[in-house]
Every structure is written in structure tokens, then in C-alpha cells.
Amino acid sequence: MSKIPKKEVVKQPRQSTDCAQAPYNSGSCVNGISYPVPASFETLLELRDVDFGYGDRLVLSNLNMRFTRGQVVAVMGGSGCGKTTTLRLIGGLVKASRGQVMFGDQDVGKQTREGLYGLRRRMGMLFQFGALFTDQTVYENVAFPLREHTDLPEELIRDLVLMKLNAVGLRGARDFAPSGISGGMARRVALARASALDPELMMYDEPFAGLDPISLGITAKLIRTLNDALGATSIIVSHDVPETFSIADYVYFVANGGIHVEGTPAELRASQDPTVRQFIDGTPDGPFKFHYASESLAADFGIGGQA
């Protein structure tokens, strides 16, 4: 990740009385003096007071998130808490019922069809269980978004595809069919395909699901490397704590429709919050219940008495 030289960070201090209240990435804050946000720490994407539900059921409420350029940010939380939905809001696949999803200075929810198409061109998405096109070779899979979104001549497409495949270590596998490569390799091809257009924002939905430990480690490192090489911003949705924490700069932990806790991986690791602890330690019971809410055992088995 490109770092800004120190002297650029500490110019023109502003007086501030409420550093403790300063939002994430609002610039550094030392001894009550806050410093402006350096250019490379700009916000690329911001969710502001977002509500969203499917039908009448609110899934996310009053959600606020910021994604800073150059960072890898994790969105974590239990199944069904709304992680995929958050990515769908960002990609404009669904619209917030309240609040805004700002990508740069554009409100994703207010785009025309063409505007949205233009914005999506700047986003790369690795969908949950995102499969490759099985009837196309590895090469064709990576070429697909380039053909779909650009009018580049075939020679240039070839160079770009080979560069992208090289970045994930699979230049030599270009002519294979997806059925002829391992699950870990297929995930890497999917990464190459998602990054084909050099997106500013990469979104990964459960990128480690179903991978063996070695492929999992490789995929995690690749996500970080691709982010830094592209100068992009990445969002990882995952419940894989060790791998995600090893590459993330910042973590949003979502529960009960909103952000339950946020911070750096080190801060979350040190958290004593029971929900976060249960998630990190993988304990079977805690704020997330092992037993789905039910009648008492006694009532269900008709044995009378109190449960």
C-alpha cells in the first residue's frame, strides 16, 4: 500500500474539541489537534444512514460505513446479518429505502441505468459461490468483462488477460476448462476476472468459502496484493476470522441490522464484547444462540413441569 510521507500528514493542524468523537479516517488526532485527511486516505465509498429491507422486513437500519482508498476493509458477522445485502446496495443491485450510498461524489441509488452501468464498470465483484462460465476456457472467462465493457482490440485484450492471469499465477493454465482445474485455482481465475477492468473498488463475497487451507492462504494474500497493485479499495465479506484479520486494515462487525463494533483487527481481537468474542473464538453458545427460539423441552415432549 502506498504510504504518504509523514510531513504531508502533519500540515495545517485544525483545532478540534472532540477528537474522541472523530469518525474513522477523519485524519490523525494528537493532543486535541486534528489533522486534515491526506489525499490517499480519501473516502472512496460511504454508506450514510442507510435503511434497507426485503419487503416489510428491515434487514439493515441506520447503517454508516466508510471505505478509504487503498484499504482492505472486512465486513463480518453471522449468517443472515446483511453482509451480501450491503454489497448489493453498493453495486446498485438493490436500493436503500433511506439514506445514501455514495461512490465518490455519485449517489448509487440515484443513478440512471447508464449511470449505474458506468459506476459498475469501476467496481469488481467476486460473488458468493461465484462460478466461472463452465463452457469457456480460463482465458475466455477473464476476457469476458473486457469484451463486455470495452472495445479494445483483440491483441490488447490478450495482453491484459495474460497479465491478469500472471498476477494470480495461472498464465500457464489459460487453455484449461474450469472443470480441469482445482477449486483453489478456479477461485484465482475468478479473482483475475473480477479485477480485469482495474476496478477502483473490489468486492469479495465469502472469497474463502470451500477452500482448503493452502488455497485459502493463497487467496487471502492475492486479495491484498491485487488491492495494493491496483491501488484499489477492497471489501471482503467473510466469516473466516484468521485469514480476514491477517489482510484487513479495518473491520466492520455487523449484527442486529447495524454495526455492532468496528475497528482494526487488533482492536477486535482485544474486544471483550460477548458477540465479537463468540464470533472470534467460535464458541457454540453466546449472544448467538445454538438453540433456535422454541417451546420448552418439557412442553414439546409433553412431560409437564417447568423447563
Ligand X SMILES: Nc1ncnc2c1ncn2[C@@H]1O[C@H](COP(=O)(O)OP(=O)(O)O)[C@@H](O)[C@H]1O
The binding site for ligand X (CB under 6 A) comprises 54, 59, 79-85
Residue 66 near which of Mg ion, ligand X, none (CB within 5-8 Å, type-dependent):
none
Minimum distance, C-beta of residue 139 to ligand X, in the bound complex (Å): 31
Residue 190 near which of Mg ion, ligand X, none (CB within 5-8 Å, type-dependent):
none
Minimum distance, C-beta of residue 81 to ligand X, in the bound complex (Å): 4
Nearest to Mg ion by Cβ — which residue?
Answer: 84
Minimum distance, C-beta of residue 123 to ligand X, in the bound complex (Å): 17
Residue 234 near which of Mg ion, ligand X, none (CB within 5-8 Å, type-dependent):
none
Minimum distance, C-beta of residue 82 to ligand X, in the bound complex (Å): 4
| Nearest CB to ligand X, comparing residues 128 and 166 | 128
Residue 174 near which of ligand X, Mg ion, none (CB within 5-8 Å, type-dependent):
none
Minimum distance, C-beta of residue 140 to ligand X, in the bound complex (Å): 29
User: Which stretches of the chain bind Mg ion, using CB under 5 A?
Assistant: 84
| Nearest CB to Mg ion, comparing residues 41 and 127 | 127
| Nearest CB to Mg ion, comparing residues 84 and 219 | 84
| Secondary structure (DSSP) of the chain | -----HHHHTSS-EE-S-GGGPPTTS--EETTEE-PPPGGG-EEEEEEEEEEEETTEEEEEEEEEEEETT-EEEEE-STTSSHHHHHHHHTTSS--SEEEEEETTEEGGG--HHHHHHHHHTEEEE-TT----TTS-HHHHHHHHHHHH----HHHHHHHHHHHHHHTT-GGGTT--GGGS-HHHHHHHHHHHHTTT--SEEEEESTTTT--HHHHHHHHHHHHHHHHHHT-EEEEE---HHHHHHH-SEEEEEETTEEEEEE-HHHHHT---HHHHHHHHT-SSSSS-SSPS---HHHHHT--S--
Residue 74, classified by CB atoms within 10 Å of its CB into exposed (0-12), middle (13-18) or buried (19+), is: buried
Minimum distance, C-beta of residue 221 to ligand X, in the bound complex (Å): 24
Minimum distance, C-beta of residue 178 to ligand X, in the bound complex (Å): 24
| Nearest CB to ligand X, comparing residues 77 and 124 | 77
| Nearest CB to ligand X, comparing residues 239 and 269 | 239
Residue 85 near which of Mg ion, ligand X, none (CB within 5-8 Å, type-dependent):
ligand X
Rounded CA-CA distance 220/216 in Å is 6
| Nearest CB to ligand X, comparing residues 54 and 129 | 54
| Nearest CB to ligand X, comparing residues 52 and 139 | 52
Residue 238 near which of Mg ion, ligand X, none (CB within 5-8 Å, type-dependent):
none
Rounded CA-CA distance 165/254 in Å is 34
